[in-house]
Structures are given as C-alpha cells and as structure tokens.
Amino acid sequence: MTSRREFLCHTGGIVAAGSVLGAGAANAQTPVADDVDTIPHRHYLLTDVRLESGFIHEDGVVAGTETTLHTLEIEDGRIVAILDAPSGTLPRYSAQGMLALPPMRDMHIHLDKTFYGGPWQAPLPRKGKTIMDMIAREEVLLPQLLPTSQDRAEALIALLLAHGTTMARSHCNIDPVSGLQSLEHLNLALAARRDDFDCEIVAFPQHGLLHSKVDGLMRESMDLGVTHVGGLDPTNVDGAMEASLDAMFQIALDHDKGVDIHNHESSPAGIAALRYMVAAVEANAPLRDRVTFSHAFALARMDEGELAELATRMADQGISVASSVPIGRGVMPLQAMRDKGVTIMAGTDSVIDHWSPFGSGDMVDKANLYAQLYAGSDEASLSRSLWIATGDVLPLDDDGNRAWPKVGDAAGFVLAEASCSAEAVARCSPRRATFHKGRLVSGRVGA
C-alpha cells in the first residue's frame, strides 16, 4: 500500500512533483508520443489505476489516505474485474499511476447560451440592475448568440468532459425571442456526443412563464427531449406567485415530467413560494421525487426551526435542491438541509455568459468551495466533500472501506493527477482522462 505521504515523496515519472503538490496545470503531465486519445476495444485492461484503499489514522483522526495500484478489466461498458496485476492477452492501456475518481455530475448548467467558445466578452455592469433588466438584455443578446449556439454548446460539453463531468442537467431557454431554436440547437449538440455525455433538459421560461406568455411553447417543447418543466421567480418576474406555480405544475402533470424551478427570491415572497410548492407536491403524488428547487436563496433567510420544519417536509416528498454553492451575504444552509435528508445537488450554472464571467465548468471547484464553506481543511473533511461533485459517490466510506469502484459498476471514472481525493478537492488537481460507459471520451492514456 502507498500512503499519501509516500506518494508525495516517491512519485516520479509521469506525475511531476510540482503538479502533485498543487502547482497547477502549468506543471502538469506532458503527453508522450505513445499516449492515445481513443480506445477502440470493447474488452480491454486499464493498468496502473490508482485506487483509494483506506484511511491512515494518527491520534484517533484521519491523517492520510492509502492508495494501491490496480488493473481494471473493462468489457461492454462495465468493470468486470479489479485485479492486483494485469494478466492474459487482452489489449492493454495504462492509467500511468493516476488516481481514479467517480465521474462528475453537473446538475445545474445552461449549455444553450454561453460566450464560451467565442471571443472574450465580459458582462455589462450589474449594479442597480433588476432581473427584468437582465431579461431585457437577453432579448437583445439571444439573436446574436443563436447562429453559433450549437457550436458553443458543443465546446462547452467538451470542457465539461475534460473536467470529468459525464452527466448534466441543462436548463434551456424557451422564450418569445428564440422560440424553440435554442432547444433545437442544444439537441443537435447533445446528439453529437450522445455516446459520451448524458444530459437531462429543463424547459426554462427565462423571461417568465406568465410574463412572456410561453405556455404554448413550453408544451410544444415537451416532445423535444425535455425531461423537466422549469420556472422562474413567480413573484418578482411573473407577478403572480400562485398562478405562475400552478401553471408550471400543470404542464408537468399534463406531460408526466419533473420540475426544476429557478427561485432567486430571498424575500418573504420567496419563502412563501417554497412553502406553496412543498404543499403542491404533498397534494399531487405524481410530483413526488420529481421536483427540484434550484438556487432557493430564501432558505438562507429562514430561522433554524422554520428551516428544519420545511426541510423535513421536503425530504418526505423527495424534493431536492440544486445549488451553485454560492458565496456572499447569505451562505446557503446546504449541510443543514442534507442533515434533514434533503438531496442536495450542485452545478456550475453560468459558464462565461452575460450573467457571470467566473464559471469554470469544473465540479471539483464546487467541491473545493463546499469544503471551505461547510466542511473543513483536514484530510477526512476534504475527502468527504467530493460527494457534491459526484452525486454522493465516494471512493471510501466514512470508515475508510472502499465503496467505489466495485466489480459490476459502470466503467465511468476520471483520472486525476492527485494522490487522493482530499488532495484533488483541495488543489483542484488536473484531470487527464475521462471514461464513460467504458469509452475514453476525453483526454489521453498510455498505450
């Protein structure tokens, strides 16, 4: 077995010391001539895969993480064996000692409208601007973005894959300006990577479901690959909380879809909207386990007792929260919600668009931020914080037993230049290869 300390002291060859210590991508592994970016075989061995094998304890606390090198036998998209050493005549490729992490899940992103893939463009000043002002800006911007929106979505998907994300939930504009064109372009971009990348689509009335009068367009979109009905700030944008939410839920019920609503409202009206939606799910069994509150900033304004009561009801109905793990005046009570049994998901949200220039498309960034805000800087806390990037899948359980990967699992993982998941979270270590359903979909491995 190799401990984190031993790894840092003795690692050589393909992982440069500066990179291991977190010096960043500038010191990262340089591909060699015999590296490959595709694996044509359905049945092969991936050797020299670093897997976490346990925690190192000192004075009763977790002080490090042990890892061991293994060979994964992969067949028809699944891990059929985890071997101590390679054997037999199957084709072989090498992970070159890199750490395997579970694949990332970006559960709140906007693939359909982004500046990414084009020239640099900072957002216009936001100070003093309301959400209605931002919507007015978007009405001007969308016609400019539509001609290249498919290409930009494809570039953004490639960025996500490079960071290890193989599953996403993308909100897609349904509005009077773009009609269904944004959705059509997004579907084309997703079709181009259908074997590499899984994506749910939320039909998102960005300009207000009632305000922009898009009930008909929303219903048309339900037959175009949409999995969820979206909504937006029913009081601040639509000006009629109950009518707006009723219309959203009715579309979902009529078309047997889930719901994922943006709610940025942090005022008492935001709290009232959350309570109204919880009551609506309680009254409509088909909505159970199918509703997500995205952002839900009003949760940060609730007192402890009020939050506990609502969180318990949300957990009972399977209502989840999707967050970008924001920093600012009101830290979201994500851990408190999770402690009550509410499923918490995370996403990178805007990636270089007219709302924000700061999005990286990297879910490990979100795990890093989660650790800083909620968990801590010690080995165990960093290791545990990876859950928010992977959808609750961790290499080790809380007792240090290997929980992932296991024989029979889907062969989806990301190879990182890190000695353990704690380091990957703390240093946002470079990812070098991404596998999905047994296929190398981004990056390179050794031939």
CATH code, 8: 2.30.40.10
In a domain, 71, yes or no: yes
In a domain, 247, yes or no: yes
- Same domain as 354, residue 281: yes
Helix (H) or strand (E) holding 345: strand 344-346
- Same domain as 112, residue 259: yes
Predicted TM-score of the model (pTM): 0.91
- The proportion of the chain whose per-residue pLDDT surpasses 70, expressed as a percent, equals 93
More confident: 10 or 121:
121
Using 50, 70 and 90 to split pLDDT, how confident is the model at 272? very high
In a domain, 374, yes or no: no
In a domain, 318, yes or no: yes
Q: Residue type for 179, please?
A: G
Cα 145 to Cα 178: distance, rounded to the nearest angstrom: 10
Which CATH number do you get for residue 304?
A: 3.20.20.140
- Same domain as 40, residue 189: no
Residue 384's nearest CA partner among 108, 106, 55 is 55
- Same domain as 341, residue 313: yes
What is the tens place of the pLDDT at every residue in 11-49? 333 232 223 223 333 334 444 557 999 999 999 999 999
Q: What is the mean pLDDT of residues 360-368?
A: 98
The pLDDT score that the predictor gives to residue 330 is 74
In a domain, 371, yes or no: no
The pLDDT score that the predictor gives to residue 328 is 79
In a domain, 422, yes or no: yes
- Same domain as 283, residue 417: no
Question: Last residue of a domain, which of 342, 361, 380?
Answer: 361
- Same domain as 435, residue 323: no
Q: What is the mean pLDDT of residues 228-233?
A: 98
Evaluate whether 173 touches 230 at the Cβ level (below 8 Å): no
In a domain, 372, yes or no: no
Lowest-confidence segment of 59-68, 256-265, 303-312, 323-332 by average pLDDT: 323-332
In a domain, 117, yes or no: yes
Enclosing domain of residue 239: 105-361
SS3 for 416? strand
- Same domain as 414, residue 291: no
What is the tens place of the pLDDT at every residue in 120-156? 999 999 888 899 999 999 999 999 999 999 999 999 9
Evaluate whether 348 touches 106 at the Cβ level (below 8 Å): yes
Mean pLDDT of the chain: 92
- Same domain as 131, residue 52: no
What is the tens place of the pLDDT at every residue in 78-98? 999 999 999 999 999 999 999
Counted domains in the chain: 2
Evaluate whether 414 touches 434 at the Cβ level (below 8 Å): yes
- CA dihedral in degrees (415, 420, 422, 424; nearest 10)? -30
The pLDDT score that the predictor gives to residue 9 is 35
Residue 340's nearest CA partner among 323, 318, 359, 322 is 318
Residue 421's nearest CA partner among 57, 4, 10 is 4
- Same domain as 67, residue 188: no
Q: Exposed e or buried b for every residue in 52-61, given b needs 16+ CB within 10 A?
A: bbbbbeeeee
Question: Last residue of a domain, which of 361, 377, 406?
Answer: 361
Cα 367 to Cα 159: distance, rounded to the nearest angstrom: 18
The pLDDT score that the predictor gives to residue 99 is 98
Q: How far is CA 135 from the centre of its chain?
A: 25
- Same domain as 139, residue 77: no
Question: Last residue of a domain, which of 361, 383, 411?
Answer: 361
Cα 45 to Cα 71: distance, rounded to the nearest angstrom: 7
- Same domain as 197, residue 158: yes
- Same domain as 321, residue 270: yes
What is the tens place of the pLDDT at every residue in 292-332? 999 999 999 999 999 999 999 999 999 999 999 998 777 89
